[in-house]
Chain A
Amino acid sequence: MSLGSIPMRYRVKIDREQCMECMRCIDNCSYGVFREENGKIHIDSRNCTVCHRCISMCPRDAIDLHERPVDYRSHPLWTPEAREDIINQARGGKIILSGMGNAKPYPVIFDRLVLDACQVTNPSIDPLREPMELRTYIGKKPKQLHITKNEAGDLELETELSPNLKLDTPIMIGHMSYGAISLNAQLSLAKAAAKVGTYMGTGEGGLHEHLHPYQNNMIVQVASGRFGVDIDYLERGAAIEIKIGQGAKPGIGGHLPGEKVCADISCTRMIPQGSDAISPAPHHDIYSIEDLAQLVRSLKEATNWEKPVFVKIAAVHNTAAIAAGIARSSADAVVIDGFRGGTGAAPKVFRDNVGIPIEAAIASVDQKLHDQGIRNKLSVIASGGIRNSADIAKAIALGADAVYIGTAALVSMGCRVCGNCYRGLCPWGIATQREDLVQRLDPEIESEHVANLINSWTLELSEIMGAAGINSIESLRSNRSRLRGYMLDEGTLEVLEVKPVGA
């Protein structure tokens, strides 16, 4: 007995009166929704992924798109999604793969935190007239400075400083590998990072030679597959990041299927063409916090202790204790990726159910490091679901030094968060290696868009800070008294160390 087909998820319609039959929808859709037959455009709605490419390119606004045009019997528990996943798995006995970040409607803590502003008793600052300090240094800070006076009477710093990254804005671009995204997408991000004075991550996919001109703005990643990692790669990066975990899929590895390993990707990852690139769940030389310290020191030793080393972990239940261990390892920063972090592909059950929100993770890590008197030893970088400048301000007030953005940067290049990244057909030229699709993305133009986004958020941050009477980002960091929780439960408020509204 056949299970039959499930109802179509989206229905695409063309307003035939509006349509001028320019066929742009056919050219633009890489999923095969549109086709021409006898001079007429035919539609197969089942192929639609809601990537909006056709809609954005239609000169007449003739395309209509509706989600779930077919109703199920409504039920609060047995949602259409629950039923469809079961049917899917009953058919094939397989793990369901998904893209982008957590898609379950968990409450967003950021949206239940409100920021403070000055009124009467303390003056706000006008960023138009007053200098606002958003410069951020990522890396170890000395606990105290020793200064001596030399014979000429000048002051000299005796304390040896650790290498730090200098950011003109607390916004960095997170790690998305060549393979997960296209070279043009990486180029756009790299150009943008250089333009706005920040950094971007390479992901675990090596560093293509076209990115070498931007290497001073790139953080190279060392993950469990060690793909693309050699001494040349390590020396090129402005900093090195050890990836232990990822918010979208804590506790598991990843793999780039062999069909995506083309000649160019094989070259940057340093593996044979067509071979699966499997990143195991653990690093096989890390089985303890001491082993992690050894890898940190090994990377430092290889690069003459000249580069900051970051450790990226997924936000999980004991993140704070892990971060405290990392702080004692010679690492310079910890990156915490919350459970809303994006991905090219992750098992849906992980994406939607494993890990904790970034807001809680930052607060508990920051508090633990403060409690142990080692906050200066480690910068905290927050990532996973940062959507706007308010999220950044709140993340910093909860204890982050800087944030990584990923999905937001992709959206600024055209991505509509359709979540089909793993299919390699991204019509925006981002999550694909198909040459004709990649060519749609012009790094000159898209780097401008990404830079614009970071610049707007930086402007908004200075406005938010000015309104709160704060003229330096350092005075916002861990400044939880400038936050209030709105409709947050007592337990969460306690973890965040934030008072409720009105208190």
Chain B
Amino acid sequence: MTSRTINAKNMHYTPLNKRIKELVKTGVQEIVLENVLGQRFIANGLRGKVTIHIHGVPGGDLGMFMSGPTCIVHGNCEHAPGNTMAKGKIAIHGSAGDAVAHSMRGGKIFVRDNIGYRGGIHMKEYGDNPAVLIVGGLAQAFLGEYMAGGKIIVLGSGSDRAVDGREIGSGIHGGEIIVRGDVDEKQLGVGAITEDFGKEDLDAIKPLILEFCESFSLDPKQYLDTKYTRIVPASSRPFAGKYTWE
């Protein structure tokens, strides 16, 4: 596998991304970015099968519009990694800010630790590649707001409440949010309802849990039971019946 390293120290994001695109064009399969400090838009709109190791803290919109590559972040992330992402994977060995996976249409985002507010907002699915967001730690309020498709799983590691905030799934009209442990009725947003999580549901998410744990060398055993709450839309047509004709 051809691998290249870029020292991103003091580099502006545009030349950095230009360099990444050039390397991908020449068939490089692995790129290691050293000393990343707040550069936004890394791997933005990038295609291909490349794996990018990011050492440091990338800025906002990591992997926005990305279609195919894998980004492995050895550190924390700013807001909205995976914004409007179509294909590929982002694995974050740390925490991420607000609006993680915003409008993401396909691919996977794994966050080992915590995420901020509005995680998975307006996430979607299309074809056989639904968007998946898995959070190992905690998520804040407005998780899965406006969600239109895909899957959010919050494992809540190290806490007995994976999501403490309110307005979970506010305006949800597609997809599902699976939260480890219990979720109070009062934490749900408008349009969201809870459903029992059974053996079949566990079977459905098991491959994802295994993949997540493998990414971060975690023991999957602790997550392979049915102690989850499943949050789904009350209707796929939340606005039907709200309007009358002129």
Contact = CB atoms under 8 A, between A and B. Distances in A.
Interface of A: 88-89, 91-92, 94-99, 225-226, 229-232, 234-235, 255, 257-258, 266, 270-272, 274-276, 278, 280, 284-285, 294, 297-298, 301-305, 347-348, 419-420, 422-423
**Top 8 A-B pairs, shortest CB-CB distance:** A302-B45, A226-B103, A94-B244, A270-B126, A231-B45, A97-B243, A98-B246, A301-B41
A398 B83 CA distance: 38
B5 to A, nearest CB: 22
B8 interface: no
A284 B146 contact: yes
Nearest to A85: B246
Contact of A285 (B13, B80, B105, B246): B80
Contacts of B126: 266, 270-272
Given A257-B240, A298-B61, A303-B45, A231 B67 contact: yes
A266 B239 CA distance: 19
B83 A285 contact: yes
A94 B240 CA distance: 11
Nearest to A227: B124
A297 B42 CA distance: 12
Secondary structure type dominating chain B contacts: loop
B246 A348 contact: yes
Given A92-B244, A96-B246, A271-B126, A301 B102 contact: no
Contact of B242 (A89, A94, A99, A419): A94
Interface in B218-246: 236-246
B67 A230 contact: yes
A341 B245 CA distance: 19
Contacts of A97: 243-246
Determine the main DSSP class of A at the interface with B.
mixed
A231 to B, nearest CB: 4
B65 A284 contact: no
A162 B72 CA distance: 34
A272 B130 CA distance: 10
Contacts of B145: 284
- The number of chain B residues touching the other chain, given as a range, is 35 or more
Contact of B173 (A91, A95, A275): A275
17 contacts: A95-B243, A226-B105, A230-B65, A234-B65, A255-B239, A278-B148, A278-B239, A280-B146, A280-B171, A284-B102, A284-B145, A285-B102, A298-B41, A298-B61, A302-B65, A348-B246, A420-B245
Nearest to B105: A270
A47 to B, nearest CB: 12
A276 B246 contact: no
B57 to A, nearest CB: 16
A298 B103 contact: no
Most buried by A among B45, B47, B80, B102: B45
Interface of B: 13-14, 17-18, 21, 40-41, 44-47, 60-61, 64-67, 79-80, 83-84, 86, 99, 102-103, 105, 118, 121-122, 124-126, 145-146, 148-149, 171, 173-174, 236-246
Given A285-B83, A301-B45, A229 B65 contact: yes
Contacts of B149: 271-272, 275
A226 B122 CA distance: 9
Given A230-B65, A294-B61, A298-B40, A276 B173 contact: yes
Contacts of A234: 45, 65
A271 B148 contact: yes
Contacts of B239: 255, 257, 276, 278
Given A270-B105, A271-B124, A302 B44 contact: yes
A255 B99 CA distance: 21
Contacts of B46: 231
A301 B246 contact: no
A85 to B, nearest CB: 8
Nearest to A277: B148
